[in-house]
Amino acid sequence: MLALSCMVAYAAPASDTFYLLEPNLKAGLQSIIEIELKVGGDLLVRENTPLELGADSSVQKIPAVEKLPMSVVANLRYEEQMLAWSAKDVSRSLRYYETAQATFKVGEENLKRTMPDSQRLVLTEIRDSLVTMNGLNTPLTRNQVDLLHVVGDTLVLDRLLPGQRLAEGENWNHDAETIGALLGMDRVADCEVSSVIAGEAQGQVRILLAGSVHGSIDGAATELDLRGEYLFDQAQKRISRFNLAIKEHRKTGPVTPGLDIVANLTLKVTPTQTLSHLSNKPIGLTKNLAVPINHELLYYSPQNGIRFRHDDHWYITAESRKQLALRRLQGSTLVAHCNITTLPARSTGRQTTLEQFEREIRQALGDRLDEVSAAKEWRTTTGHHCLGIFVNGKTKKVPLQWRFYLIATDDMPRVSLTVTIEQAQLDEFADADRRLVDSLQLTGKQVTETASKAIKRK
């Protein structure tokens, strides 16, 4: 595995031997991919970060940053069948993850994650320089996507190659789109990364990579220094080995903590003629490249008694026995907060009416309320009864809109869902809460809190 100090500028003179570094990853190509990722450093967490939109930053102290020692060890092994590959356009593959596990340590706490057997079949694509993956039959959770989506994705990897003949000692610069996709970045502001041919042995061209890149990941500004080494198999016409060392400093962001880490990745590609888990899968259904794969994610909590689907702009930022907090990030802009609270069940004939719900909201908001802009009730697509109240108002002179929902069915725990949006962000938000509400399923759990108390905390 590479250390950050192991690479120096390579200055060998160009030789008379040229290598055609042009990948050829045809549809139907089958491979076994093995990945090990090790991360060590500090997690940077801001204390007392305000959770409400519209907070007046001019009167708040800048929250202190707490450093927590952290480490990650992740191991992935998957079968991959290429469905389509392009150096510039949409690429897509079908994967079966035989192994997908990670151990996280933050401070004194340890957490292990692994993929359930039912979710190991995954469709992956790169489109517009963004890698997306999801279950072939059912959506993945964000935690599952985070486990699988590591740097060096094999749909992106061979885009590092220049597609031309070069001699030993010659180099080329990498474009921001490729490096951003390779590292899982959502924006690249500055990219100075290049590769150079360092030699050849036994049909494998040895290539060194180095440079730095600035941009953002999950809306948080980040700086990364890269040192890598990879092999191009001239017979297979693809990268067969990839080692990458990353030194990253990421600021705390609107939905994620900061990082001050060193990460080391090793990746091995082994061609194969037989894939034991993919041979009988309906891959013909996945070849329509004009239609993007499903970006929806699944949230399910037996503890809170709820299940719903959401797009990948919603991030879960806090989770407890009775409440779930989400934030919506579009680009690097935080556009909304959402709190979901599990409430006690009510029997037939005792459900809250729309008038009662509005009265509770007016009482809870008090002087912050300017007007009720909408009040209605309906049946969601999951068959639950839903009350919806939209309220315009202000907090510390910032115009806000609160959207209160109460989702219920007889003799099962109910759910209060509250969304807070700055009125200036309403067009950008574009009713992104409706998918949460309409897909939410009550799965059953008894709690002992009233709806009015939940509203008063908003």
Mean pLDDT of 24-29: 93
The amino acid at 370: D
Whole-number Å distance between alpha carbons of 376 and 388: 5
Beta-strand (E) ranges in 255-313?
Answer: 258-271, 297-301, 306-310
Structure confidence by residue, pLDDT tens digits, 120-155: 999 999 999 999 999 988 899 999 999 999 999 999
103 phi and psi angles, rounded to 5 deg? -115, 120
Burial of 266 (0-12, 13-18, 19+ CB in 10 A): middle
> Which phi-psi region, left, alpha or beta, contains residue 202 (left: φ > 0; alpha: ψ -120 to 50)?
left
User: Residue 304 in contact with residue 414, Cβ under 8 Å?
Assistant: no
User: Which residues, 6+ apart, have CB-to-CB distance to 140 below 8 Å?
Assistant: 119, 122, 133, 134, 148, 297, 298
| pLDDT class of 388 with cuts at 50, 70, 90 | very high
Residue pLDDT, tens place only, 257-311: 999 999 999 999 999 998 888 876 665 666 688 889 888 999 999 888 899 999 9
pLDDT value at position 321? 83
Identify which of 419, 426, 12 has the alpha carbon closest to the alpha carbon of residue 206. 12
Q: Examine the pLDDT at 58 and tell me if it is beyond 50.
A: no
> What would the pLDDT profile of 413-454 be if each residue is shown by its tens digit?
999 999 999 999 999 999 999 999 999 999 875 433 333 343
Q: Which two tokens stand for residue 288?
A: 């329509």
60, pLDDT greater than 70: no
The pTM score is 0.87
pLDDT (tens digit, 9 = 90+) per residue, 239-249?
A: 999 999 999 99
CB neighbour class for 282 (10 Å; exposed up to 12, middle 13-18, buried from 19): exposed
pLDDT classification of 106: cutoffs 50, 70, 90: very high
Tokens of 97: 């993850």
Residue 50 has pLDDT above 80, yes or no: no
Residue 373 has pLDDT above 60, yes or no: yes
**Confidence label for 349 from pLDDT (cuts 50, 70 and 90):** confident
